[in-house]
Amino acid sequence: MKHIISITFGIVLSLLGFSVYYGDFVGFRALFIVSPLILAAFFIIKKIRTAKTSNIILAIYAAAVYVYEMIHLHKFFYFDAFSITVIVYLIIQIVFAVLATKVEQNGTFGIRTPFTMDYKPVWKRSNDFMSIAQTSTIPLILALSVLSGGWPRFWLGTGFVLLPLVISLLYSNIIGWKYHKAAEERRKEELKRQQEIENGYQKWKRQL
């Protein structure tokens, strides 16, 4: 459900951005068409009580609106060598968004910080968050591959790839610190209990 909302947000944002840039305000129409879907999804879930079905309905509807609006922007389509770079970025984002939710703690892929490597829940939450953040950029990068040109296309694509990583690193450190603090508190409590047991044992020995 979170991924569907994320990609829907990306669709609205991409259409709004390019609508403003090109002065063709189809994106604002998309805002009023797509945004209510987020609320509608919750009502659908309550009615049919099947999250999977509601996700499918929302995804199909959002994709249809996206395609419809992109067709209206086709007159601005532009292809150059940077289109290939942006398409590579698109593939990277899709692969990373899928794998991020599936991989276990490792030293090569995912959000790797001291907190994520020390605490499995932090790893899971951080990489799930990264997957959702990357999902929101997929419509943006897809639109960028045909609706811009030259170096701005390259730098915007690079930014859309790096931004979810930076945000996810910050999120990881925020929640990681909470887990670390809780672990330290538990360690202190355990040390205190051990000390009390040791003191009780020493007192018992002296009484003998």
Q: What string of DSSP letters covers 5-61?
A: HHHHHHHHHHHHHHHHHHT-THHHHHHHHHHHHHHHHHHHHHHH--HHHHHHHHHHH
pTM more than 0.85: no
Q: Are 6 and 12 in contact (CB under 8 A)?
A: no
Task: Render each residue's pLDDT in the chain as its tens digit; 208 residues.
Answer: 677 677 777 777 777 776 677 666 555 565 565 556 655 655 665 565 555 666 666 667 667 777 777 777 777 777 888 888 888 988 988 888 888 888 888 888 888 888 888 888 889 999 999 998 888 888 888 888 877 777 888 888 899 899 999 999 999 989 988 888 887 787 777 777 777 666 665 565 566 5
What pLDDT score was predicted for residue 141? 87
Quote the CA–CA distance of 137 and 159 in Å, as a whole number: 10
pLDDT of residue 171: 92
Backbone angles phi, psi at 117, to 5 degrees: -80, -25
How far apart, in whole angstroms, are the C-alpha atoms of residue 130 and residue 164? 6
pLDDT at 204: 58
- Per domain, the residue ranges of the chain are 1-76, 79-208
Q: Is 163 exposed, middle or buried (0-12, 13-18, 19+ CB in 10 A)?
A: middle
Q: Residues 129, 171: contact at Cβ < 8 Å?
A: yes
pLDDT at residue 166, as a whole number: 92
CB 59, CB 11: distance < 8 Å: no
C-alpha 132/C-alpha 108 separation (Å) is: 20
